[in-house]
Amino acid sequence: MSRRPHQIAILGTGYVGLGTAALLAHLGHHVTGIDVDVCKIEQLQRAEIPIYEPGLEKLLLSNTSQLTWTTDFSAVQQADTIFICVGTPPSADGTPDLQFLQTAVASLAPYLGRKQQIIVNKSTVPIGTGDLVVRLLEDLAPEFDASVHYVVSNPEFLREGSALEDSLYPDRIVLGGLDTALDHMISVYAPLIEQSFTPPASAPRPERYTRPAVVRTTLQSAEMIKYAANAFLALKVSFANEIAGLCEHVGADIEEVTTGIGLDSRIGHRFLQAGLGWGGSCFGKDTQGLISAGREHAYAMPILQAAIDVNARQRQMVINKLLRHLRTMKGKRIGVLGMAFKPNTDDLRDAPAYTLIQRLAELGAVVTAHDPVAMARAEREWSHLKYSSAVNAAQVFQRADAVIIATEWDEYRQLDWEALVATMRRPLIIDSRNLLRHPLTAQVEQVGRELKGTIGAAL
């Protein structure tokens, strides 16, 4: 496989753009990150990383000679591979909003030259968007030539919180488009496919890892693979949550049940963690996106709709449990532990904690919330919500009528739970992530299970 370093331009420096930049720079390519957000680019130029993602800063800083940050789209001229990594948020009706993607294409179009350049779509986009990008380039790029300019779909599968490991050691690399363009992409990813790069200290190679599978397919199938993968994972979590709800009625333990079913290699253990349900910028958006694609073709997708409904019910379930114990929320002091949509990220998009805080405030509760990394961001992005930020996790418990565990941050496992419960007005814990391992001298509600063990034992 060819070993030449490529000249890469990345449009959009969010979670995916930065993850891709870090990966490709580490593989030895020259990467220019381009964004319309001037503040973000200035931060990156000062070597400040605008998001919280474990290991990302170290990896980017260890490859600074390979990386340039700019708001100037003319940098596209030098690139042989141009990645589009802009956001595709849902519109009000659930269809993905392509305005950022269309603007990005319009901004790069004047700088396409006469040499071979591959335009790679990494954003999650509706099936058919690859063809739309070709049409946009035909209209907007003066030098567009279908024999040298190719559009490729290369969906991203990284998870926030483990972006580096997911990028450096992926299960598969999906490439959709014409053969010439896919051969080019394989030369971009050659060190990753062969696993011939030096593992960075910030994300060491997992003990058991085999090389990624390379899936060569059409634009449409690659676009569909991305949606179908996210939808299936969301479905798996909702399935575990639906079974968990029934476990509570019949006295079964969801963790033992998921262990039992996960041992069947056809099912597997991952993404069966019952709890508060999924949040984040993608599962909700992409399940809705598929449903709206179906709607365009008068094709119903009842399984996906059910997964969404079960997920919404999980958030309400927490409120119901609180009301069962406290009867009313009016004037009740409620602590919320965890605000980010999952641990190890500061991302608050579609975070279940948001729905909880909003609902609790509507019902008249006085809410105090804590998160190890997302609190400052929440003060900016959730300024319209009625709650106060805690100075530390312990403050959430003080004189509280109940504490909800909304995000299973590891540091919450290390708390001195018995001592903290003793500071509450009423010892009620709604452990909606099944984080606690042993009972406390408190009423503890988990999802689909009852705590077994010795009161006061270590977690």
Ligand X SMILES: O=C(O)[C@H]1O[C@H](OP(=O)(O)OP(=O)(O)OC[C@H]2O[C@@H](n3ccc(=O)[nH]c3=O)[C@H](O)[C@@H]2O)[C@H](O)[C@@H](O)[C@@H]1O
Ligand Y SMILES: NC(=O)C1=CN([C@@H]2O[C@H](COP(=O)(O)OP(=O)(O)OC[C@H]3O[C@@H](n4cnc5c(N)ncnc54)[C@H](O)[C@@H]3O)[C@@H](O)[C@H]2O)C=CC1
Question: How many C-beta atoms surround the C-beta of residue 48 within 10 A?
Answer: 10
Q: Is 342 annotated as a binding residue?
A: yes
Is residue 273 a contact residue for ligand X (CB under 6 A)? Answer: yes
Q: Is 160 in the site for ligand Y (CB under 6 A)?
A: yes
Interface with ligand X (CB under 6 A), residue from 17, 126, 279, 427? 279
Residue nearest to ligand Y (CB): 14
Buried b (16+ CB within 10 A) or exposed e, 76-103: beebbbbbbbbbbebeeebbbebebbbe
Does the annotation flag 160 for ligand binding?
Answer: yes
Residues marked as catalytic: 282
Determine the Cα angle at 113 with ends 112 and 115, to 5°.
120
The CA angle 216-219-220, to the nearest 5 degrees, is: 115
Residue 373 touches ligand X, criterion: CB under 6 A: no
The reply to whether 248 sits near ligand X by the rule CB under 6 A is no
Q: Which of 278, 382, 397, 409 binds ligand X (CB under 6 A)?
A: 278
Q: The sheet that has 333-337: what strands, in order across it?
A: 388-389, 366-370, 333-337, 402-405, 428-431, 443-445
Residue 96 or 275: the one with the smaller Cβ distance to ligand Y is 96
User: What count of other Cβ atoms lies within 10 Å of the Cβ of residue 260?
Assistant: 12
Any idea of the CA torsion for 64, 67, 70, 74, to the nearest 10 degrees?
A: 150
| Between 47 and 232, CB nearer to ligand X | 232
Give the nearer residue to ligand Y in terms of CB position, either 68 or 281. Answer: 281
Determine whether the annotation assigns residue 106 to a binding site: no
Cβ 399 to ligand Y, closest distance in Å? 37
Q: Pick the piece of the chain touching ligand X (CB under 6 A) from 280-288, 354-362, 382-390, 437-445.
A: 280-288
Write the binding mask 131 to 170 for ligand X: x where contact by CB under 6 A, - elsewhere: -------------------------xxxxx----------
Q: Count of residues for the chain?
A: 459
Nearest CB to ligand Y, comparing residues 258 and 288: 288
- For position 271 contacting ligand X by CB under 6 A, the verdict is yes
CA–CA gap between residue 204 and residue 404 (Å, rounded): 34
Apex CA 20: angle with CA 18 and CA 23, to 5°?
A: 110
Strand order in the sheet with 117-121: 67-70, 30-34, 7-11, 81-84, 117-121, 149-153, 172-176, 213-217
Calpha distance 367→383 (Å, rounded): 14
**The two structure tokens encoding residue 397:** 């418990």
Q: Does 118 bind ligand Y (CB under 6 A)?
A: no
Of residues 34 and 319, the one with the C-beta less far from ligand Y = 34
Q: Is 386 annotated to bind ligand?
A: no
Shortest Å, Cβ 192 to ligand X: 16
DSSP letters spanning 253-284: -HHHHHHHHHTSTTT-STT---SS---SSSHH
100 binds ligand Y per the rule CB under 6 A:
yes
Binding residue for ligand Y (CB under 6 A) from 5, 36, 178, 292? 36
The residue to which tokens 């997302």 are assigned: 374
Least distance to ligand Y from the beta carbon of 34, Å?
6
Provide the binding-site residues for ligand X, judged by CB under 6 A: 124, 156-160, 230, 233, 237, 271-273, 275, 277-283, 341-342
The binding site consists of 35, 40, 88, 124, 157-160, 226, 271-275, 279, 285, 342, 349
Provide the binding-site residues for ligand Y, judged by CB under 6 A: 11-17, 34-37, 40, 85-88, 100, 103-104, 107, 123-124, 156, 158, 160, 281-282
The binding site for NAD(+) consists of 35, 40, 88, 124, 160, 285, 349
